[in-house]
Structure 1
Amino acid sequence: MSRREILQTHCFNIDQVAFDSLAGEPFERDFIHVKHGDTVGVLAVTDDGRIPLVEQYRLSAHRWTLEIPGGHGSSHLDRPMDIARRKLEEEAGFQAGDIKQFLRIMDMPGYSTQYTSLFYATNLTATQASDFGPETPRPALRLVTPEEAYQMVLNGTILDAKSLVALLSLHNGLLDHYAAEGNGN
């Protein structure tokens, strides 16, 4: 019935939307409208079989998290593949020789337009991690085996949704055909 923007930030807007229900009763909902397209997550595996995880402080959760590298672009024109390559290098200090999107998930479909594209990266070359942002004054990079990562999922050390989906996909063999194909750009 109507849409009204009630908050505007650098990353998203909040819109209040009025609907007419099938029962004839109008109702309102607030939605987060993401401005910069898909966020990304990069499940990278080094030549010796280790996964880079980034330890970051998340202000909204008031806690340190352990996550696969990821983030969002600065414009809705940024391509998810380009964002994935950039975030892998900035946060984890690796360039990917091979990278391929393997999933796209809806983050919070009940109240947000945000999607996350998940990428699988291999044939890594070490560079220098550079961008940690203002929220993480002392980020740490951990290189863990797939089994160690899976145990961190099971014991609740890793709680970030994009990381959970990516690591469980790896553990359950979803990514095996990407490795067999040699990945592509």
Structure 2
Amino acid sequence: MNDTQTYRKFDPWRVSPLKEESRKQIVSTHYFNVDQVSLSTPKAERFDRFVLQSTNGDGVGVLAQTDDGRIPLVEQYRIPNHRWTLEIPGGQAIRRNESTADVAARKLREEAGYTASSIVQFGRFINMPSFAAYHTSLFFATGLTPADRGSFGPETPRPDVRLFSLDEAYEMVVNGTIVDAKTIIAVLRLYAAPGHNLGQ
């Protein structure tokens, strides 16, 4: 073996190649903040980057499944992209002490119109690691019971909920009909799970 080569598992926490010189918050909103961060390296002069931070913890996505195996997807109008999307219910905490599991139950009820006898977390991912320190936690909900839905924002006052089989949802991921990242990840994860069950 060549002594100059190193073989090791990936280490996400090894020493940073950058030095953070300063940080200041330049935008503050209900859901997120933006920090301006000044950095330096031994080989480069000081430079700035902008980092999006979540205000109240992780975002949440809820992949729910009815007793007959259908998945509720919510039609949402998304202002930044000027288009409609199909998404699993999701959102953020409205207060700092609201747990991700509580957010999941609330968003399932408000957006899809269901309560669940079982909600279990099955995943967590970084949305855009190049500019955001923002994670989404994914939950699997079963034992669904219809419930009254809540109120919605002005962009989609009363979004429609559509029910799809797992095969239909998977096909919409593959053909590009579903473009929302949390929904893509959740559907592919369920499709790959043994017995199509994330609760085991």
TM range (shorter): over 0.9
Query: How many Å separate the matches in 2 of 1:41 and 1:62?
Result: 21
Aligned residues with identical type, % of pairs? 51
Q: State whether structure 2 residue 43 is matched by structure 1 residue 23.
A: yes
Deviation at residue 2 of structure 1 after TM alignment: 0.5
Q: Which residue of 2 aligns with 1:167?
A: 187
The equivalences for 1:144-163 within 5 A come to 144-163=164-183
Q: Which residue of 2 aligns with 1:40?
A: 60
- Give CA-to-partner distance per residue, 1:91-147, whole Å, 9 cap, x none: 001001011000011111111111000000001111122232222034110000000
Where does structure 1 lack aligned partners over 5 or more consecutive residues? Answer: none
Larger radius of gyration: 2
Deviation at residue 155 of structure 1 after TM alignment: 1.2
Greater RCO structure (CA 8 Å; 6+ sep): 1
Query: How many Å separate the matches in 1 of 2:102 and 2:95?
Result: 12
SS in 1 for 2:133: coil
Deviation at residue 174 of structure 1 after TM alignment: 6.1
Does the 8 Å contact 2:22/2:37 carry over to 1? yes
TM-score by length of 1: 0.92
Query: How many Å separate the matches in 1 of 2:87 and 2:166?
Result: 13
Query: How many Å separate the matches in 1 of 2:195 and 2:115?
Result: 19
Q: Which runs of 4+ in 1 moved over 6 A?
A: none
Please report the RMSD computed on the Cα atoms of aligned residues, expressed in angstroms.
Answer: 1.4
Does the 8 Å contact 1:11/1:34 carry over to 2? yes
- Residue 53 of structure 1 aligns to which amino acid in structure 2? L
Does the 8 Å contact 1:21/1:27 carry over to 2? no
Q: Which residue of 2 aligns with 1:52?
A: 72
Query: How many Å separate the matches in 1 of 2:97 and 2:158?
Result: 30
Q: Which residue of 2 aligns with 1:81?
A: 101
**Residue 175 to residue 55, structure 1, CA distance change in 2 (3 Å):** farther
Does the 8 Å contact 1:102/1:118 carry over to 2? yes
Larger deviation, residues 68-77 vs 145-154:
68-77
Deviation at residue 156 of structure 1 after TM alignment: 0.9
